[in-house]
Amino acid sequence: MASREHLLKVGVSGIRGVVGPFLTPSLACAFAQAFGTYVGRGRVVVGRDTRASGEMLQHAVACGLLAAGCDVVDVGILPTPTIQMYAGSSGARGGVAVTASHNPPEYNALKLFNGSGLFFNNYERGELVDLYHQSDFRQARNEEIGKVAVEAKAPVMEHVARVLAQVDSALIRRRRFRVALDAVNGAGSVMSPAFLAETLGCDVTAMSVDPTRPFPREAEPRPQSLAGLSALVRARSSDIGFAQDPDADRLAVADESGRVLDGDDMLALVIDSALPRTAGDVVVNLSTSLVIDDVARRHGRRVHRTPVGEANVVEVMQAVGAAIGGEGSSGGIIYPVVHLCRDSFTGMALLLEVMARSGETLSALAARLPRYFRRSGQVPVESRRLGALMPMVEESFPGASVDRSDGIKLLLADGWIHVRPSNTEPFLRIAVEGQSAERLDTLYEKVLGLLE
């Protein structure tokens, strides 16, 4: 049995763990009461994805918030970015999304947002965690206990309006793109088909859009898990295919042949389309490809790098006034003029606009990007071994430039290596990039051999 610390984690986005012996309703209630105590009395927006444990945990969260004297705005099953935007625009004290995002179905989590609809920064996070551990929660008196209100339509309208303000929807609609969609039976199952078909005028063929059914594939939309989407693209002669994770903040894209693009290449295309119209630099995490640097350089912009995690990227984006940012390795696109959150809907709209404006296929657009070779993986690890493993990796590549801000990243003349503990699971994540396929294989196998 893995250790308890590995199956229940407090990280950059909230608390996360395996439901049952680790993440329980009582823990969720207590953490929500700590959250309500921290943000103060007022409205808190609460929504969830489609996991079996979601309804149970959402009730627990509502109980904790009510006990702290907050009112609860129940927005039901909605994408995380939709919940974030509504929390930030509706005058709420904060928001909670009950979702474990890309993790397997036995996991769940509480993603916590402040009154601006953003993840807590390090200072806020530290204060909240201290408050939780001290169990010094506000206990509302009978006359102070709030109420639960249901609101499902306004958040969707807010999200769609923000995206449409940044793209030429009429241009997209005129192209009448044929689009394949795999929503993994997640939180985007209803909103995504409607957004593509009704809002953007696409001819949509969708799979896995039943929010009452389990996830039919691996939750994270990676190339190796998207054979169904690729087959659907080819069967329907689609112009493009989109896949989401269960809370619809992550996006994967297939071209017209059914080939799933590398997430860094997808992010590069979106950044290339956004920079001409938006002032500012680019922010990505340490595991994101150098193709982003090439694209940014073409527009005369700098690239800033952060530890992995949406909250980390957003914090630096705020600090530097970034035009756009994201995490290619996780299919995360963050466009501040829509909202400072990872948002698959913004990504879908921007990519469709690029294709509509250029008249080119997605494969042709991707083919013009500088070519790098990338590979990622993971190995199980116990936390007590990290102190020995990291120096061993560094010592095996003498002469490399070293960044220790998130695990260890080694910059070489013809590639880079990034090894870090996962924010959400008991693994060491490995990301490697090389300027040739041969160099990539050599670097990856060497690192894997060291860690195993």
Distance CA 87, CA 148 (A): 15
Average pLDDT over residues 132-136: 90
Question: Which of 14-23, 183-192, 296-305 bottoms out in mean pLDDT, i.e. has the lowest?
Answer: 14-23
Task: Give the pLDDT score at 4.
Answer: 45
pLDDT at 39 over 60: yes
Identified catalytic residue from 90, 101, 169, 208: 101
Question: Annotated catalytic, 101?
Answer: yes
Q: Say if residues 239 and 179 touch (Cβ distance below 8 Å).
A: yes
What is the Cα–Cα distance from 77 to 81, expressed in whole angstroms? 12
How far apart CA 293 and CA 246 sit, in angstroms, is 30
> Of 99-108, 113-122, 357-366, 418-427, where does the model show the most confidence?
357-366
Share of residues in the chain with pLDDT > 70 (%): 96
Mean pLDDT along residues 67-71: 97
Would you place residue 329 in the very low, low, confident or very high pLDDT band (cuts 50, 70, 90)?
confident
**Mean pLDDT within 194-203:** 98
Residue type at position 348: M
User: In this structure, which amino acid lies at residue 344?
Assistant: S
What the chain holds in terms of domains, given with CATH numbers, is: 4-152 (3.40.120.10), 165-367 (3.40.120.10), 373-451 (3.30.310.50)
Amino acid at 277: R
pTM for this entry: 0.93
Q: What is the pLDDT of residues 270-287, one digit of tens each?
A: 999 999 999 999 999 999
Q: What is the pLDDT of residues 401-415, one digit of tens each?
A: 999 999 999 999 999
Q: Which two tokens stand for residue 198?
A: 């009704």
Lowest mean pLDDT among 8-17, 162-171, 260-269, 397-406: 8-17
Instruction: For the chain, give the number of residues.
Output: 452
